[in-house]
Amino acid sequence: MKTYRIAVIAGDGIGQEVIPAGIDVMKIVAARGGFACEFTEFPWGCDFYLRNGRMADGDALDRLRAFDAIYFGAIGDPRVADHISAGELILPFRKRLRQYVNLRPMRLLPGIASPLSGRTTADIDMICVRENSEGEYCGVGARKHAGTADELAEQTGIFTRRGIERIARYAFTLARSRPRKLLASATKSNALQHSMVLWDEVVADVARDFPDVTLRKYHVDALAARMITHPQSLDVIVASNMFGDILTDIGSAISGSLGVAPGGNINPDRTTPSTFEPIHGSAPDIAGKGVANPIAAIWAGAMMLEHLGEHAAHDAVLRAIERVIGDERVKTPDLGGRATTADMKNAVTAALTALPA
C-alpha cells in the first residue's frame, strides 16, 4: 500500500480546530482509495514562540524535507507581531522549500450566496497563480533615522526574468488544461516602470509558446474591479506576490466566505514538499468556540492529495463538499447557520462515505 508522509502544522487559533477535521476526512478517503497517509504533528506557531522565543525549531526546514507534503493550519496571535509570525515561519518555508507557486481556487460553491447579487456558480470559477518567492514580499529594505523627523522606510521589490518566466509558464500550462484556455495577467506597468514592464515583457515572451491560450493583460486595479463587475470573464489569473495576495482575498470574498477557500504553496519540481492550507487566518475571535468552518481545510487536504497523484480521492472529497454545501442543511456561522466545526466535518464524512466506491 502506498503511504504518504504528511507533516502537520496546525499553528494557531482555529488552525487547531480545522486541521484535525481535514485529517479525519483524508483518512476516510485514503481507506477508500487503497492508500494511507501518515501524519506527523509539529507544535510550531505563536504559542511555540511565546515559550521558546522562536516560531519553530532551528532544524525545522531540514526535518520537513523528509515529508511528501505539509498540511498547514493558520498562523497569528495578538500577542505576537505579524512580521514575526509570518516572517519567521511562513515566508522562510516558502522560499527555502522553493514553493514558488501559490495556487488559490476562487469558486462559488452550490448553496453559498455570493455578495455579488445574481451571480451563480457558473459566474465565479477562477484560479490564481501567484508568484510566491520574490516580488514585493522579498524582504529587502530598511528603516533609517528612527525616532527623528527624517525617519524613513524603504521596501524594495525584486523581480527576476527567471522568476517571472517560471510562474508565467506554470500559469499558461494550467490555463491550457482548462476548457476556456484563458489567462489574465495582473500588471501595473503604467506606474511601476521597471518591475512591471519586465513582468509584461516576460509574460508576452512565454505566451508565444502557448498560441492556444488567450492572454489578456489588465492593470491590477482594473482587474480587481473586473473580478467584481464581470467575474464570468476570468478564468486563470497570474500575478506577482503582492498583487496575487490582494486579488485572491477579493476572489475568496466574492465566493461567499473565507471559510471555504483553500490554497497551495507548490514546488512544481517536487524536490521539496509543497504546503497546503486554508487561506483564512487564525481567527482569534472565534478560536476555541468550535464553530470555525473546516471546509477550506478539507478542500486544502483534497488539493494535497491531488498533488500527490491521488486524483480520484481529490474528486471524491470535492463531490462530498459540494453535496454538503449544496444541501444547505449544515451551515457554520460564516455561512449564516449555527453548525459547529464537528457538525460540518461529520456531514462531509457522511457524504463521502455515501459516494459510490
User: Is 245 among the residues known to form the active site?
Assistant: yes
pLDDT of residue 29: 97
Q: Tell me the three cell numbers of residue 128.
A: 490564481
Q: Distance between CA 14 and CA 18 in Å, rounded?
A: 6
The terminus-to-terminus CA distance of the chain in angstroms comes to 18
User: What is the predicted pLDDT for the residue at 91?
Assistant: 84
- How far CA 349 is from CA of 106, 189, 319, 324, in Å, comes to 23, 47, 11, 10
Name residues of the chain where pLDDT drops below 50. Answer: none
Residue 160's CB: how many other CB atoms inside 10 A?
14
Q: What is the pTM of this model?
A: 0.92
DSSP conformation class of 263:
E
- State the catalytic residue, choosing from 125, 235, 245, 343: 245
Cα–Cα–Cα angle for 116, 122, 126, nearest 5°? 80
Q: Which residues contact 93 (CB under 8 A, 6 or more apart)?
A: 61, 64, 70, 99, 265, 275
Q: In this structure, is the dihedral angle defined by the CA atoms of residues 183, 184, 185 and 190, taken in order, positive or negative? A: positive
**Nearest residue to 171 (alpha-carbon basis) of 162, 180, 184:** 184
Q: Coil, strand, or helix at residue 189?
A: coil
pLDDT of residue 241: 95
Q: Indicate the SS3 state at residue 276.
A: strand
Rg of the Cα atoms in the chain: 20
Q: List, in sequence order, the alpha helices (H) in 134-240.
A: 161-177, 195-207, 220-229
Q: Which of 188, 218, 331, 345 is catalytic?
A: 188
* 257-298: pLDDT as tens digits: 878 999 999 999 999 999 999 999 999 999 999 999 999 999
Residue 223 near residue 251, CB atoms below 8 Å: no
- What is the reported pLDDT for 246? 95
Neighbours of 312 (CB within 10 A): 14
Is position 144 annotated as part of the catalytic site? no
Look at residue 257 in the predicted model and tell me its pLDDT: 82
Domains of the chain in start order, with CATH, are 1-99+257-357 (3.40.718.10), 114-255 (3.40.718.10)
Clarify whether 209 is annotated catalytic.
no
Quick one: DSSP state of residue 88? I
CA 335 to chain centre: 20
DSSP 111-147: T---SSTT--TTT-EEEEEEE-SSEEEEEEEEEESTT
Q: Is residue 200 annotated as a catalytic residue, yes or no?
A: no
Task: Quote the pLDDT of residue 259.
Answer: 82
User: Tell me, what's the pLDDT at 26?
Assistant: 98
Query: pLDDT per residue over 161-215, tens digit each?
Result: 999 999 999 999 999 999 999 999 999 999 999 999 999 999 999 999 999 999 9
Beta strands in the chain (DSSP E): 2-11, 35-41, 69-74, 101-107, 125-131, 135-144, 152-158, 182-187, 214-219, 236-239, 262-266, 274-278
The SS3 call for residue 332 is coil
Cβ neighbours for 266, distance < 8 A, ≥ 6 positions apart: 99, 100, 101, 102, 103, 274, 307
Task: Kindly name the residue from 137, 218, 331, 343 that is annotated as catalytic.
Answer: 137
Dist CA 167 CA 5 (whole Å): 27
* Catalytic entry in 82, 205, 209, 221: 221
Question: Is residue 249 among the annotated active site residues?
Answer: yes
Q: What does the alpha-carbon distance between residue 114 and residue 111 come to, in Å, rounded to a whole number? A: 10
